[in-house]
Structure 1
Amino acid sequence: MAQPTNPHRPHDTRDPAPIRVSTYVHGRHDDAITRQQDTLLAWIADQPGYQLSGQYVDMRPNQQTPRFGLRRALVDARTGRYDVLLVHDLSRLTRRMPELARILHALDRARVVLRSADDTVDTSSPVGRLFARMVVAFADFDIAAPRLPSSARGGRRRPTREPRSRDRDRSGRRSTAEPE
């Protein structure tokens, strides 16, 4: 069996070992899942040296349904079954920042690249890794935000300047009289 290539570098066409790609699709209806799978398989076919090694599917009618396909994909990433996890777009993976940070961390520890077929995410490039770090930073802030004082969370703002004295009467109340 060929040794997997390093997913953190562009694929060298002289390298005989193919890049093993697994796909993950998520949807509520069979037709949406089929469209995503067709797009991902066409994307893999267009990439020289890429080979399909697995497919993971989650059909979720609601948010409470467990995502066994994603769990299996992360377990297989840890065991080295593939080099690249390909998703249709990032929203198909998750829409919550803390969960995305957790997934990115798990894939990074397994040295698996996350790519999207719409080319918005590619953690094998420096820009893609920067994007992943920014997502993790935003997720950390999102988790810490409830512990911040209300003024830092965007609660009631404190005045930044003193009200102009001409708008106040002698007792300090707002004047309702029209200026002359």
Structure 2
Amino acid sequence: MSDTVYWRGVNHLALVTADMDATVRFWHGVLGARLVATIGTPAFKHYFFDIGEGNTVAFFEYTDQHLDEYAKPAGVPYDKASQFDHLSLNLPDEEALLRLRERLKSHDCEVTDVVDHGFIRSIYFSDPTGIALEASWWVLDATGRPVDYRDERLFADAEPVAAVRELREAGRLARTVSTKLVDGIIEDTYRTGV
């Protein structure tokens, strides 16, 4: 179809750090995600780490900017983390997952045992700034294949939202939503209608 979007992964996910040096030492040194590009201005540093061909995780370190930092485990709600919970990095198989787990432990980083979520298996850990991280491999790869919204191995929510019910029943969404650009920080988007 002419309106098909051809996604090719994540060009970059931009996160924030208060300590770029520690971030480089962890992402490049511990995780082995090569530092592949940097931007430096008087106002900020912006560094990019390779997580697969064409895919990076990037960090901003702002000059003279106080940050309210927090750390939280993946999947645990926190009112200051309304737009971000955790980042999961993809690995090719369980052997790679176990190797990463051992690598983290060898660098004295705390890491969970392997957690079996059915269609993926994962380990959980944090970066030096408290960002909750996960590494996963697809036991049943949901990508690059036709989607069957009735496949309960992948669509296990017994009470799905209306949009999923529409996809299941009609194969398309009855409606979409619109968004607006903002020119400043808005604390409560629900109240302001953004």
TM-score (norm. length: structure 2): 0.25
Higher relative contact order (CA 8 A, sep 6+): 1
More strand by share: 2
- Which structure has the larger Rg over C-alpha atoms? 1
More helix by share: 1
